[in-house]
Amino acid sequence: MPLPVTYADVAAAAKHLEGAAHRTPVLISTTANEMTGAQVFFKAENLQRMGAFKFRGAYNAIAKLSPEQRKRGVLAFSSGNHAQAIALSARLAGIAAVIVMPSDAPPLKLAATRGYGAEVITYDRMKEDREALAKKISDERGMTMIPPFDHPDVIAGQGTAAKELIEDAGPLDYLFVCLGGGGLTSGCAIAAHELAPNCKVIGVEPEAGNDVQQSFRKGEIVKIPVPVTIADGAQTQAPGLLTFAIIRELVSDIVTVSDPQLIEAMRFFVSRMKIVVEPTGCLAAAAVFNRLADIKGKRVGVIISGGNVDPAALGRWLA
Ligand SMILES: *Cc1c(COP(=O)(O)O)cnc(C)c1O
C-alpha cells in the first residue's frame, strides 16, 4: 500500500514555508559528543516561530486551503503548541481562526493564543466533549478543522525539519525524534528515508505515554489512558491512522525516557548549551544522552521539538 504522504509532499511543504518559517540552526556541543561517544547534531526547533516545529505543519496546511476554505477560516482544538501554531499561521495568511481550549488551560497559553489574533472558545473539560463542540462550530461556520498530527499536510510540513537538518548536517546514521501522536516522527521519517536512506529513525516517547511503542510492537493501534508526564506535548492516547501507517513502515524503533531523564536533559540544555527546551522537546535528546541505541562513533541527528515552558516551572524542575 502506498504511504499517505510522499517526499514530494515534504519538498512542496518546504517551498510553502520558504520565507515564512525560520530555517532553525543545527547546534553542536563538544560536551554532548563526549558524553555520548557520538557526533550529535541538534535541530533547534525551540527557536522556530511560536517556539515549536508545529508552525511548519500548521502553516503548510493553511497554505494548501482553497480560496473558498480561506474565506471561512480554520478551527483547531488544542491547549498546546498546535493552538499557537494555527493562530499564528492563520494571522499570517489573513484568515480567521477559532481555537477550542479547556477553560482551565494555563492563562499564559490562552493569552498567547489570543495574542496571535485567534478567537478562543473555551469549554468545561468535565462537562463538555471538545470534539463535539469543535464539530458544531465548524458546521455552523463552515470552518476547516486542522488536526494536530493526523493530516497529510501537517505531516508533510513537520517533515521539513528533518529535510533541513540532513541538508545542513550531512548524512546521518540515526535520527531521534520527539514523539506524541506521530506527525513529527512520520514526516521526518519520510524526509530521512529519501535524503539519508541508511539512517535509522527512532521515535522517543515518555515512559508513561508509550501508546505508539505499544502500537508499534503489537502491529495495530493501541489506545492508553491519558498519561501522567511532564511531557505535556506527548500526552496522546494513540497514534493516528496516517501517522501509524508511516511509522510502521519507516521507523526502526520506538524507545521511552522517564520524567527525571527529561529534567536532566533540560538542565543540560540550559547550563551547557544556553537554550531553553520544554520537557516534550527533550524526549529525543534524553534518549541520546542515555544511549538508548548503539550510537557510539555514529552521526546522530536529534530534533529539539519546542521551547515553550513556563519559566517558574522550569525553575522548579532545575532547582
Ligand atoms: C506536539 C509536540 C510534539 C509531538 O509531536 P507529534 O507530531 O504529535 O508526535 C513534540 N514536541 C513538542 C514540543 C510538541 O509541541
Spatial distance between the Cα atoms of 292 and 36, rounded to a whole number of angstroms: 10
Q: Whose CA is nearest to atom 1 of ligand 1?
A: 233
**203 neighbors 177 (Cβ within 8 angstroms):** yes
Return the C-alpha cell found at 128: 463538555
pTM confidence score: 0.97
271 has catalytic annotation = no
79 has catalytic annotation = yes
Which residues does ligand 1 sit against, CB inside 6 Å?
52, 54, 80-81, 148-149, 178-185, 233-234, 278, 280-281, 305-306
Tell which one of 154, 179, 282, 314 to mutate to probe ligand 1, the residue whose CB is within 8 A of the most ligand atoms.
179
Reduce the secondary structure of 245-276 to three states and give it as a string.
HHHHHHCCEEEEECHHHHHHHHHHHHHCCCCC
Determine the atom of ligand 1 nearest the C-alpha atom of 183.
7
pLDDT in tens, the chain (319 residues): 789 999 999 999 999 999 999 999 999 999 999 999 999 999 999 999 999 999 999 999 999 999 999 999 999 988 789 999 999 999 999 999 999 998 888 787 888 899 999 999 999 878 888 888 888 898 899 999 999 999 999 999 999 999 999 999 999 999 999 999 999 999 999 999 999 999 999 999 999 999 999 999 999 999 999 999 999 999 999 999 999 999 999 999 999 999 999 999 999 999 999 999 999 999 999 999 999 999 999 999 999 999 999 999 999 999 9
Strand order in the sheet with 299-304: 26-27, 39-44, 299-304, 174-178, 200-206, 253-257
**Torsion region of 306: left, alpha or beta (phi above 0 gives left; psi -120 to 50 gives alpha):** beta
Spatial distance between the Cα atoms of 3 and 251, rounded to a whole number of angstroms: 13
Q: Whose CA is nearest to atom 7 of ligand 1?
A: 183
What pLDDT, on a 0 to 100 scale, did the predictor assign at position 183?
Answer: 98
CA 6 / ligand 1 centre spacing (Å): 20
What pLDDT, on a 0 to 100 scale, did the predictor assign at position 109?
Answer: 80
Closest to 43 (Cα-Cα) out of 178, 212, 239, 203? 178
Spatial distance between the Cα atoms of 308 and 133, rounded to a whole number of angstroms: 27
Determine the atom of ligand 1 nearest the C-alpha atom of 185.
9
